[in-house]
Amino acid sequence: MMSPRVIAIREEVQGRNDLVAAMNRERFERCGVFVLNIMSAPGSGKTEFVRRTLADIAPWGPSPYTPDDGNYDRAHSSHLDDQRKVRMAAIVGDIATDNDARRLGLTGAEVVQITTGGYCHLDAGMIAEAAAGMDLSGLDVLVIENVGNMVCPATFDLGENLRVALLSVTEGEDKPLKYPTLFKRADVVVINKIDIAEPAGYCRELALENLRRVAPQATIFEVSARTGKGMPEWYTYLRSQVARNRVAYAEVTPPLTSSPGGRS
């Protein structure tokens, strides 16, 4: 009879996801597209934040849908005159329904829905599959809107360039302390719904202090995706990131003459 023995393994459990994420990242780089992974609790306003971004700065915007929602404030619309448009598409993850994809599709952008069927987060394999049929080479930005959940999505690399965590003023100033993993791994934190900060009893100083202690690396934006307040600062930042990505991409890759990452 064989005696017990120990096999050393030392393998990362998420290694397979990380491998697919690396392949995604390679394809995104080859196509020169900058990829956002947007994460938050359900109800923080991810879809509205993405919708407004698509409607305001994508080439087909501002969509007629934008001023019609009754909350649109022209005071925050100076960016609409800006000719530096950003070509965008979106992948949206939900447990059930394609409501968000239909809502985002009204902007005119290409939107691919992933319905996870109970799965609490997106993983790199789902993104590879969803992105397979998209013509990425014609895009500047691909927005991935993750499943509404502050825990599970935080540790899954999808191959993105920028991790964005959303938080709304109604969720409590201590949310970053309760869900540190998400915020510690975020490049950007967006505080949303600042138009209702006062009735929500939101303490801005406390929220910012908590955020800066938990996530000192994060760039913070304070916005109302509904009224548009604070959104121009986010657009400026996004444009600068896209420009930086293009420069980095041009340095490592000769210009494309065809689009190998296109539809197949």
Partner 1 sequence: MHEVGLMQEALDIVEDHARRGGAKRVLSIRLRVGDDSGVMPDSLRLAFDALVPETIAGQARLDIEAGPVVCYCPRCNDEFAPDDIFYECPWCGTRTSDVRAGREFQVVSVEVE
Q: Of residues 141-160, which lie at the interface with partner 1 (CB under 8 A)?
A: 151-152, 154-156
Q: Is 252 in the site for partner 1 (CB under 8 A)?
A: no
Nearest to 190 by CA among 151, 229, 140: 229
CB atoms within 10 A of CB 236: 13
The least distance separating partner 1 from the CB of residue 234, rounded to whole angstroms, comes to 21
Sheet hosting strand 162-168, strand order edge to edge: 111-115, 88-94, 141-145, 34-39, 162-168, 188-192, 219-222
What is the contact mask toward partner 1 in residues 93 to 132, using x (rule: CB under 8 A)? Answer: --------------------------xxx-----------
Count of alpha carbons within 13 Å of 165, Cβ hemisphere only? 28
Contact 44, 166 (CB under 8 A): yes
When the beta carbons of 2 and 75 are compared against partner 1, the nearer one is: 2
When the beta carbons of 86 and 144 are compared against partner 1, the nearer one is: 144
What is the contact mask toward partner 1 in residues 202 to 241, using x (rule: CB under 8 A)? Answer: ----------xxxxxx------------------------
When the beta carbons of 16 and 102 are compared against partner 1, the nearer one is: 16
| Cα 117 to Cα 156: distance, rounded to the nearest angstrom | 18
Contact 126, 144 (CB under 8 A): no
Residues at the contact surface with partner 1, assessed by CB under 8 A: 1-14, 16, 119-121, 151-152, 154-156, 177, 180-181, 184, 212-217
